[in-house]
Structure 1
Amino acid sequence: MLKKDSLIKGTLILAAAALTARFLGLFQRIPLDYMLGADGQAAFNQANQLYLLLLTVATGGIPVTISKMISQRYALGRPEEARQIYKAALLFGAVTGVLLAVAMFVLAPQYAELSKVPQSTLSLKAIAPALLLFPIIAMTRGYFQGRQIMSAGAISQIVEQILRILGGIGLALIILGLGWGDEWGAAAIAFGSVFGSIGAFVVMLRYARKLKRQDKAEADKETGAIRQTEAAAKPLRFRSIYREIFTMSIPAVVTAMTVQFVYFFDQTFFMRLTASFYNEESALEVLANYSTKAMALAGIPPILAIALGASIIPVIASAYSLKKMDEVQRQASLVMRIVCFTGVPVALLLTVAAYSVTGLLFTSPSGSGAVALLTAGTIMQITMMTTNSILYGLDMPRLPMMHTFVGFGLKILFSVALAPWMGVYGLIVGSSICFIVITWLNVRRINRQVKLNVLGRRWAPYMAAIAIPAAAGWGAEYVVLGWTEAWAPKLSYLTAGAAAAVVVGGLYVLLLAALRVVTPEDIRSFPGPLRKAMTLLLKPFYKKSR
């Protein structure tokens, strides 16, 4: 029997699934660097990024909207309306999937020419069929979330990633073994998304059938009066359903596609914008490093922000609907504080140890400069995502959408201005400016409703708790790399990265306590799992200070 999940349990399930999916996605990029040359990597990453953008446009925000609509109908005792909404969502997903898949397949040569990576045509066509099923899968996940059955979407997400990796890498090994070359190898890896979509679809189909049987069994137990009331319910028109879906979801779609748009823009126009900075061969190599290494590692720090965003919206929305502004202020400030204390050190470590981490995971540390700068920028990406969630909780979904459009404009402007004389670093600076401006606009608007009190007078000690570990971690990595220069490269990178992690992590925790950046009162306000972890880490320091 399928059981409903509580809010906290549901959030933990979704967060765990997102974390697992992110790491599995990273492990798809690592073999890519070993199996393909720069041309093949550029081809796969171009196709994959366009696919992810189209998928976000087609489904971003809509599953969340559907989950809200479904949960509202069931709460009001209108299951028949919920089923009508589900049918309308499936129809929309099916039609959208066909249109996007056909468009991507047919227009693949034109897009490859626009991006000046003509070898990506095959990869674009290979990944296009995955768009047939994923919009339907997304709608089904939204329905199950509305029924508070989070495990269905979580399991399908993990199965999807596993089959995507095993299917794509396995097929590529066969293709490359036959001597078909990097272009076909990249297309084979891209086709792994089709395997993933089929696996996820099968999982959701099994859950849907099980839930349907369960609903039927429960309906058979209902009294005749309840059945008559449900039968007499006026059917909803698809037009009104779609109006409700799009009114609620369009702002969420725009904000959800921020990161995907930024990366899509960089990959599409990289060759054109950097033509005066690199020659064609160098540009392809830098593009391969940027898209395979930097973008993959930069996806790790924001995982916590995604989980926090999912959990904080209903909490703030509930307090705001009851006009408990003190509670809204407390919760909004708390989530920003948690982001500062937990999200920043991950980005910090990947920034200062970028050389060793890149060298350890990939074929060489080339491109580690881009890795360092891009992961440093994820600090602002995390705050952008979190403040977006706070504004959603304050029932202001259009504001982050408008702020996102401003950020897009600045991203394009600064990228066009800086890339010709800074290369890949100009594009990354443009992205960071985009995230910083969106965050600033969001915070300014939140402060009009409730005054955020993130750290107050503790900002200076907090910056010291970041700067000192960063400098010490970089120094530790540099020293260990020199000391282990005669070792096997991978062992040297592992040792240096581990040394940097110990120094950065240890000093960061020590300074948080020594400088009283994190107080016992802060720890008591954190969610259960985080409270236990922080207590375990900081309790010895507070005992010594008494």
Structure 2
Amino acid sequence: MKETASPSSRLLRGAFILVLAAILSKLIGTIQKIPLQNIGGDGVFGIYNAVYPFYTLVLLVATAGFPAAVSKFVAEEMASGREAGARRVLRISSMMLVVLGVLFGVLMYVAAPLLAAWIDNMHTEAALRSAALALPLVPIMAGLRGYFQGMHDMMPTAVSQVAEQTVRVAAMVALLLWLHQLGAADDWIAAGATFGSAAGGAAGLLVMLIYWWLYRRRTRLAAIQVQVEQAPVQHQPAWPLLKALLLYALPICLGSLSAPLISLVDTFTMPRLLKASGWSEAEAMIQFGVYNRGIPLVQMMSMLATSMSVLFIPALADARIRDRHDLIRSQTQQTVNWFWLLGLASSAGIAMLAMPVDIMLYEDAIGSDTIRWLAFTGIGATLSIVTAALLQGMGSVRAPAIHLLLATIVKAVLNIVLVPHYGINGAAIAGIVAYSLAALLNIILLIRLTQFPVSWREMVWKPLLVTIVMCAGVGVWQWLMDWLLPALGMHARLEALIVTLGGIAIGGILFLIGLFRTQLMTEQQAAALPKIGSRLVPWLNKLRIIKK
């Protein structure tokens, strides 16, 4: 007899599917910036990175919170056996989302010259208009995702996320190659790249519409087979439901807006400040492109934190409901310690390998210094994401958003102070301070709420020791390769690839050894790792890495 999956197992499986899809789609979205710079150059790269945070912000205003809101109300209707009510939630939310998407799309398209003037670079105008074309498509897709999530079916969301990113990148690369071959100007090449968002939005929407059609066809056939007479739908006023959706979605929207605001600070301040420092409009965009070389690396660091953070909220919420303060305290302490260690080691590793990574990915080393500075924004970014999720899981929704808004203000002020003196490196330093401030404020609040013990030895000195040993090993590897590889006459990018991959391998091994020798991870914790723990521990014991 076939067992029916329990609600909790369905939720865990759904969360796992969403995490995998989020990691894959974010990985695709991050890696796509490398061919963008390689094909278009730093000027196109700068324009794209000036426009994309603004597009993301507008998109979040139009959609953020609505998938979660629709999911909640649909789940409630389905739990009460009111499938018609669930469809009514989708219908009303979809009408509102379509209106918002079209409205914001038209406003962004029409106001593109004004926005370009605010950015202080008219080269961004065509790209702003191109990005605006995606806005009418994406909101309705968000509503459909929320509907299926409300029925605990995460697969449509996962497939549409991956399809959206894959088509977006494919369209972007195709247009980049075509426009570059035509000899188009940088602003039109960047506009072709941002048009990928519209192509991706159309693909994601198409996937959701196919799932919706299959679902409606399946439910109609099931109703005919069992000859179910559905209760007539009561025509209730739409405004109460619409108001409830808005009230539920608004706090989530405000929390989501905080993160892209820091990126938007760079968009609205750096081109202006660089021009004031003596760069021309085109040169300022090239400098902005060089600055953004390190951003995908930092995004890959925080990508894991973002994807895993969705798992902390329900776990902590459940512990809070059951009044398990001991569980909340231990989970919070362990999570903060782990992500601080991972953020520190990853940032230090990127900083050590900045020059070979820059050559490997972008053909030259002119962005190496900035990549070194930007690498350390990853510590604060990673910790601020994870600690915000922990706070939300304990019911503190507004505080992390306020902390990140405060960090945004600090970032803007420091950009104004530092960029005229230190150029793009000044903006990177401002980012380190801003993200670190948000993370620190979140951690202080977590300590106050959970009373988890703070051990300087475990939280600071041991992670620093492991990171220093790791960096020393990577430094020795780089010194040896700088001595050996030039004699072989290899291409510069191949040399950089060898140095980078070897450095990652050596750094990873030394990090793993340090992790167990300092007992930052124990044998029991390693054995508890899902899927790999049972295989990892015997291998580590054989190599005598685990300290007994």
> What TM-score does the superposition give when structure 2 sets the normalisation length?
0.90
Aligned pairs for 1:243-322 within 5 A: 243-277=243-277, 279-280=279-280, 282-291=283-292, 293-322=293-322
Q: How far apart, in 2, do the equivalents of 1:389 and 1:328 lie?
A: 13
Corresponding position of 2:129: 125
2:502 counterpart of 1:489:
no
Letter paired with 1:131? L
2:68 counterpart of 1:67:
no
Corresponding position of 1:434: 434
Is 2:513–2:545's contact at 8 Å kept on the other side of the alignment? no
Corresponding position of 1:215: 219
Gaps of at least 5 residues in structure 2 are none
Letter paired with 2:421? W
Aligned pairs for 1:378-417 within 5 A: 378-417=378-417
Is 2:343–2:383's contact at 8 Å kept on the other side of the alignment? no
2:420 counterpart of 1:420:
yes
Aligned pairs for 1:68-107 within 5 A: 68-107=72-111
Corresponding position of 1:501: 504
Select the residue among 191, 206, 210 that pairs with 1:206.
Answer: 210
Select the residue among 144, 149, 170 that pairs with 1:140.
Answer: 144
What is the CA-CA distance between 1:290 and the residue it aligns to?
1.8
Letter paired with 2:209? L
What is the CA-CA distance between 1:43 and the residue it aligns to?
2.3
What is the CA-CA distance between 1:250 and the residue it aligns to?
2.5
More divergent stretch after superposition (25-34 vs 333-342) = 333-342
State the SS of the aligned residue for 1:374.
helix
Is 2:357–2:500's contact at 8 Å kept on the other side of the alignment? yes
Gaps of at least 5 residues in structure 1 are none
Q: How far apart, in 2, do the equivalents of 1:479 and 1:285 lie?
A: 33
Is 2:269–2:415's contact at 8 Å kept on the other side of the alignment? no
Is 2:470–2:507's contact at 8 Å kept on the other side of the alignment? yes
2:522 counterpart of 1:519:
yes
Q: How far apart, in 1, do the equivalents of 2:368 and 2:480 lie?
A: 18
Letter paired with 2:521? V
Select the residue among 11, 29, 41 that pairs with 2:15.
Answer: 11
Is 2:47–2:285's contact at 8 Å kept on the other side of the alignment? no
What is the aligned-residue identity percentage?
A: 23
State the SS of the aligned residue for 2:396.
coil
Aligned length: 538
Q: How far apart, in 1, do the equivalents of 2:244 and 2:425 lie?
A: 42
Select the residue among 186, 198, 204 that pairs with 1:194.
Answer: 198
What is the CA-CA distance between 1:167 and the residue it aligns to?
1.6
Residue 421 and residue 213 in structure 1: after superposition, are their counterparts in 2 closer, same or farther (change >3 A)? Answer: same
Q: How far apart, in 1, do the equivalents of 2:503 and 2:291 lie?
A: 23
Q: How far apart, in 2, do the equivalents of 1:329 and 1:72 lie?
A: 31
Letter paired with 2:306? I
Is 1:46–1:120's contact at 8 Å kept on the other side of the alignment? yes
Corresponding position of 1:172: 176
Q: How far apart, in 2, do the equivalents of 1:398 and 1:491 lie?
A: 48
More divergent stretch after superposition (3-12 vs 194-203) = 3-12
2:44 counterpart of 1:43:
no
Letter paired with 1:139? G
2:474 counterpart of 1:473:
yes
More divergent stretch after superposition (493-502 vs 208-217) = 208-217
More divergent stretch after superposition (238-247 vs 14-23) = 238-247
What is the CA-CA distance between 1:22 and the residue it aligns to?
2.3
Is 1:258–1:404's contact at 8 Å kept on the other side of the alignment? yes
Q: How far apart, in 2, do the equivalents of 1:53 and 1:537 lie?
A: 47
Residue 285 and residue 39 in structure 1: after superposition, are their counterparts in 2 closer, same or farther (change >3 A)? Answer: closer
What is the CA-CA distance between 1:530 and the residue it aligns to?
6.3
